[in-house]
Amino acid sequence: MVTINSINREIIDCVRCKRLVSYTRLVGKNKVRRYSNEEYWAKPVTGFGDTDANLLIIGLAPGAHGANRTGRLFTGDHSGQWLMKALYEIGFSNIPSSISAKDGLILKNVFITSCLRCAPPSNKPLNSELVNCSNYLVKELEILKKVKVVITLGHIAFQTYCKINNLKKLQFYHLAKYRINDKHLIVSYHPSRQNTNTYRLTWEMWLDVFKLTKSIL
């Protein structure tokens, strides 16, 4: 029987993409100064949250010094802080931050995952790596039977979700909303430092994603 726990074990043990395995381990060994005293996770990172959730959030990949360090998606980096602050403001989490895997964060009616499970060099995965990882997302979608809204963060997450669901002719733009059978798909820019620092994604734009989600749920 396939469960979230069995999927997670399979993800953590995965070594299919040699480039990613080498990179995540190298980053964990050659730490940046500010985290020099910490032990990096340096392995594939699983999804986490409420398995009975109505909301599924799909990101790109673990951050090299974020989830690759902490072992939990959107934890310990800029994107994670933006995500958790928004989830807290709208009522989807119990605290407004995501610092470590032991910080007491509890997601409410939300499950968070990614289309790639290892940190890619320069945040640029190869297509073959995305294909290798896509089966894990397919399995999670089969388990998360109560999902009503899916939020994809960034173009690659959007493309990946469309591909595994054979969705064609959907356009990528911020706050796009599509009805797909029994689910709603909401499209967002990724809350990366590059997007937020250049104001491609403002806080108001970001919060609108979760206000729209809340209105549907």
What's the pLDDT at 137? 97
Count of domains observed in the chain = 1
Q: Has this prediction a pTM greater than 0.85?
A: yes
CATH number (domain holding residue 126): 3.40.470.10
Name every residue whose Cβ is closer than 8 Å to that of residue 176 and which is 6 or more positions away in sequence. 170, 185, 186, 187
Please report, as a single letter, which amino acid is at residue 37: N
Residue 12 contacts residue 71 (beta carbons within 8 Å): no
The boundaries of the domain holding residue 145 are 4-216
Per-residue pLDDT tens over the stretch 100-120: 999 999 999 999 999 999 999
Around Cβ 52, how many Cβ atoms within 10 Å? 11
pLDDT tens column, 54-102? 999 999 999 999 999 999 999 999 999 999 999 999 999 999 999 999 9
